[in-house]
Structure 1
């Protein structure tokens, strides 16, 4: 039984969390609801880069995206990460937006990057080299801000197998705890929370023993298809659902109180809807077929559209999800070969795109960063914004995740 005073504290905590959730219109999407939002035009675009042949150090580039700047559309800074072969992949802001947590899927190394001292020139504040030893996990994937701490998902155990899991750290890098997944859902990938509902959902991929091999050699039976529903406050799994093979990104509806969201199933070429039932349980069901290998999933700030990057189909799709059970394809665009990561701006009018998924999955060596404009008539590629990532002094680089500041 919950006593009155702890229950009151918990309700007040939920109310405080709700105040931190951005309004539906005019806010960056697909960040943790606890991250301080950028409510102005972006000035800098950070791109997490893998040295393409793994012979030189990985790095972060800063691209000037301030339209009033004389260096608009150019790379103005490069941050050497000090090591190579990391397979730098995803990252995320801390709740106060002063740091970016970033990691390598092959090395399990994590960098804490200061973006507050000089936003144009990020610097490394700390490197965590012993994450598998601390957590018993490998392949850090999603870096999700909670108040004063970071929640990380991992793709596998310390040896690169299963089970996957989650772990929490303080914003400055102190390990707090490991969170185990249920035995019947050992695969991990992404995570997202809905604070006002006290719910969290995580998704599935495959561990290092599989994603570290070329795609032709990967075992398709070594991918997960589960979505796990968690009690957010207790970090306790309460239900396991089945979706299509390799459900990747988790995107809750941005409308406060709405008890549903979406995931893109990469090896099922589909969108799945997960939604709460009246009895407190959840269901997951397929609601759309996409082009080949939907790799990333983003939302418009008004919650009307989903954007799906179809890495295998060489296109980005815009889906109207006003009726979440019946998505309607409204626009497609081809910004580059094998488009992957997207970042939608706070006003929903611009989308930045990179085109590397994994060094073991990329089929092109033409790496770039493109800009897509979003308007009432759909998506259009900006013909003048084309950042070539193949001409660094160290050779080509694979651009993956992005953040704006």
Structure 2
């Protein structure tokens, strides 16, 4: 895989950036795409389109809405069919205009379907292009419960939590064709000891894929299972793979007490050999943590670099699952690394806080900003409506390419929402303005779509028009 790979047709999309610096200097996003799901399964899930152009008369409004043709999907993570990594890999031609960042793939975490939406010709009115049925995913790749996807070498990489037809495992990665979106096969050729799955990302120039662990379908379906959590049965490992061959090479165990090793954020510098991963909870003290992986010689290592403690609370203010502990765990459920690799954003969904860390020295993060919204006990209101208590908290985090705007949504996963916010989470989204150099964050008072603007659905993840901090990998320093 050399930087010379590729064809001229691959370079027709202006949102394919050769480097992180080029991406940061590109025009800012004007639209945000947000998946919205109906917890009851009675109405179809949907893709909402929001105007995020600060000079627009429609700023902060839902300007497009697409209902899916099915019900009960529970849209969760989703992503583009193509990104800047396409500049490094041959074989991506798609029609006369070459490969484009055009299609959004929306996996259903409960249904195992994947809906493909075309954002052209009108980006505000995506259209259904194709549906990949659960049966195809099972028959061709042996997987179910698709969770996260990234465009990469050989195809679209789709991580899945379950085995064929919803059996508990092993989970892994399905490979989809870039052009037709047909399921090709399971990506792994030698799984080694890996069984649990969650996220996958890579270091392109090191020919290394990294994967993390959550749990099998039965372990997450109806919320956290206390016996499994206290028995340290959820994921607590990272895996390193040969990217070209799909072969397992190394396992790093963070320790069984560090339960649910979730979001992976590798450095955007393709020559770097480090990244961050978030851990939801420690069974020792209910703290959450962020770890840095890095290469030493031919081996990979991982070190804890951030610890966020639980906060004491009156049991009367806590949901049943937390009353015995008299504390609120931070519950780090997402992290995001700015495109310039300078700022790391950490969502603490339990305590209702988004933290900002300067990671110019990746081995020694410094907290430089914080915003409070929602929270199990705090219920901090948005500055535009400070007296309106918010449920949920900053959960999925997306950072603009220039690092000046952060978008957060408040729902984690239907069953877990109900467990930690039994009175309901509602639905809200916030935009936070940041200082990408010195640090510091301020919620934008003008941007707070919530409630019926999302037509009774909960909102989970955001993708930005033209790319964002968590969906692109770059080929040149």
Q: TM-score scaled to structure 1, two decimals?
A: 0.89
In the alignment of these two chains, the number of paired residues is 381
What is the Cα deviation at residue 23 of structure 1? Answer: 2.6
Within 1, Cα distance between the matches of 2:225 and 2:147? 22
Q: How does 1:134-145 map to 2 (within 5 A)?
A: 134-145=140-151
Determine helix, strand or coil for the equivalent of 1:263. strand
What is the aligned partner in structure 2 of residue 32 from structure 1?
A: none
In the TM superposition, what whole-angstrom CA distance separates every residue of 1:64-107 from its partner, at most 9, and x where no partner exists? Answer: 11223221111111101112211110111112211111111111
Structure 1, 308-317 or 335-344: larger mean CA deviation: 335-344
Q: 1:188-237 deviations in whole A, cap 9, x for unaligned?
A: 11111111111110111011111111335672243111111111111211
Say if 1:97 and 1:391 are closer, same or farther in 2 by CA, change over 3 A. Answer: closer
Report whether the alignment pairs 1:92 with 2:64: no
Alpha-carbon offset, residue 262 of structure 1: 0.8
Q: Which residue of 1 aligns with 2:293?
A: 274
Any idea what SS the aligned residue of 2:138 has? helix
Matched, 1:179 2:187: yes
What SS does the aligned partner of 1:360 have? Answer: helix
Determine which of 302, 308, 319 is the counterpart of 1:284. Answer: 302
Indicate whether 1:27 and 2:23 are aligned: yes
Taking the aligned partners of 1:237 and 1:118, their CA distance within structure 2 comes to: 42
The whole-number CA distance in structure 2 between the counterparts of 1:277 and 1:365 is 43
Offset from partner CA, 1:151-196 (integer Å, 9 cap, x none): 1111111233021111111122112220346342201111111111
Task: Tell whether 2:314 aligns with 1:307.
Answer: no
* Range that drifts further, 379-388 or 282-291: 282-291
* 1:316 match: 354
Residue of structure 1 in register with 2:239 after alignment: 228
242, 245, 265: which one aligns with 2:279: 265
| Structure 1 partner of 2:285 | none
1:100 partner SS: strand
**Superposed, which structure 2 residues align to 1:170-209 within 5 Å?**
170-171=177-178, 172-180=180-188, 182-209=191-218
Bigger shift: residues 283-292 or 105-114: 283-292
Aligned to 2:396: 341
Contact 2:410 2:425 in 1 (8 A): no
Higher strand share: 1
**8 Å contact from structure 2 (residues 396, 462) kept in 1:** yes
- Displacement of 1:39 in angstroms is 2.3
| Distance (Å, rounded) in 2 between the aligned partners of 1:69 and 1:148 | 39
When residues 290 and 390 of structure 1 are mapped into structure 2, their CA distance, relative to the original with a 3 A threshold, is: farther
Supply the RMSD in Å over aligned alpha carbons.
2.0
In structure 2, what is the Cα distance between the partners aligned to 1:231 and 1:257? 17
- Aligned-partner Cα distance in 2 for 1:112–1:392: 21
Helix, strand or coil: the match of 2:125? Answer: coil
- CA shift for structure 1 position 148: 6.6
Unaligned 5+ residue runs, structure 1? 1-9, 29-37
- Structure 2 unaligned segments of length 5 or more: list them: 83-99, 283-287, 310-329, 375-391, 466-477
Shift of 1:390: 3.9
Structure 1 residues 59 and 67: alpha-carbon distance in aligned structure 2, compared to 1, 3 A threshold? same
Match of 1:78 among 61, 65, 76: 65
Match of 2:409 in 1: 354
- Name the structure 1 match of 2:175: 168
Q: 1:399 — aligned with what?
A: 459
Q: Aligned partners of 2:205 and 2:226: how far apart in 1? A: 43
Q: Quick one: structure 1 residues 200 and 216, their matched pair in 2 at CA, closer, same or farther if it must change by over 3 Å?
A: closer
Output the CA distance in 2 between the equivalents of 1:352 and 1:105. 22
- Provide closer, same or farther for how the CA distance between residues 185 and 149 of structure 1 changes in structure 2, counting only shifts above 3 A: closer
Cα distance between partner residues in 2 of 1:89 and 1:189: 12
- Bigger mean CA offset, 375-384 vs 294-303: 375-384
Distance in 2, matches of 1:147 and 1:136, equals 20
For the 8 Å contact 1:47–1:400, the answer to whether it is kept is yes
Whole-angstrom distance in 2 between the partners of 1:122 and 1:218: 43
